Amino acid sequence: MSELDSRIHAYDEVGRLAELSLLGRLDTSFRFVEPVAARCGAARLSLRARPDALSPQVSEALPGEALEIIVQRPDGWAWLRTLHDGYLGFARVEGLAEQSVAPLQRPPLKITALRGHVYAQPSIKAQKVAEVCLGAELAGGSGEMVSEGGRQWLAVEGGFVQAVCAEPLSDTDSAALALRFVDTPYVWGGRSAWGLDCSGLSQLVYAAFGRGLPRDADQQQAALRPVGTARRGDLAFFAGHVGVMLGAERMVHANATQMAVSVETLGEGEYGKRLKAGLLGFGRWPV
């Protein structure tokens, strides 16, 4: 069983429970369960290492992201998987969207702004009812477009969001997008512009251009093609850390040293020297 990565393979040795896909890889003392489709609700959903609000956050599901429920517990916690990267964690079930038997009438609205809000009415003076972020997917409402003070609003499930928050990104430069996150707070397990960690940043800026990456730095390193010299948009890898290269030496990364997203030059200054000494290598898309 040692070859199974517990970050992406759902099995509980103590409770002898596992997801159905592991049937045949685990012994018959396990009870195998079929995951159930779900999605994140209107707010970011914290995935934790254990079903305990004080346990470490391991990742986040963004509003509207597709999930699987491995097990729903009677104490209000669920063992979940984020489908875009296969990552596991525990979250409160009240953070899940209500399941509807009717298919969505309209495709979800993909948010491209770093941060934003859903408003109760199409007005900047209206009550804010939810936070949104880059990568969130809002279920379409009536499809109504409303003009207000020269601004365009789109009706979504639960309210209205300004159309500017869903405009297509202007180019495909992941490094330029990463730079827009500078000064964003560092949050362990975070995946949004409200707070993120190192691999959350690299995952977000790659995903914005259709290049899916796994969740953690070591997984991302294994997924990319190793290269000896960095160019813009490559990822730089360290023990438990990753950054987005702006060129051969400069890097933007979310880090707990500055407690924010910042730019460093490898080999320059005390922190840059430590980073260069711990550099494991660079990775490039495509594989």
Is-same-fold flag (11-95; 174-284)?
no
- pLDDT confidence of residue 131: 96
Q: Cβ-count burial of 213 within 10 angstroms (0-12 exposed, 13-18 middle, 19+ buried)?
A: buried
- Reported as a pLDDT band with limits 50, 70 and 90, residue 105 is low
What is the average pLDDT across 253-266?
Answer: 98
- Name residues whose C-beta falls within 8 Å of residue 206's C-beta, 6 or more positions apart in sequence: 174, 212, 213, 285
- Reported as a pLDDT band with limits 50, 70 and 90, residue 45 is very high
| Residue 103: cis peptide before it, omega within 30 degrees of 0 | no
What is the average pLDDT across 177-205?
Answer: 98
Q: Among 3.30.930.10, 3.40.50.300, 3.20.190.10, 3.90.1720.10, name the CATH number for the domain at 174-284.
A: 3.90.1720.10
Report whether pLDDT(42) > 60. Answer: yes
- pLDDT confidence of residue 99: 75
Report whether pLDDT(1) > 90. Answer: no
Give domain limits for the chain. 11-95, 109-165, 174-284
Report whether pLDDT(102) > 80. Answer: no
Partners of residue 132 on adjacent β-strands: 116
Report d(CA 193, CA 186) in Å as an integer. 10
Contact 144, 214 (CB under 8 A): no
Report whether pLDDT(187) > 60. Answer: yes
- pLDDT confidence of residue 287: 72
- pLDDT confidence of residue 25: 96
11-95 topology per CATH: SH3 type barrels. (2.30.30)
Q: What is the pTM of this model?
A: 0.95
Higher pLDDT, 176 or 1: 176
Angle formed at CA 85 by CA 241 and CA 201, multiple of 5 degrees: 40
What is the average pLDDT across 7-30?
Answer: 96
- Name residues whose C-beta falls within 8 Å of residue 24's C-beta, 6 or more positions apart in sequence: none
Nearest to 91 by CA among 52, 132, 43, 35: 52
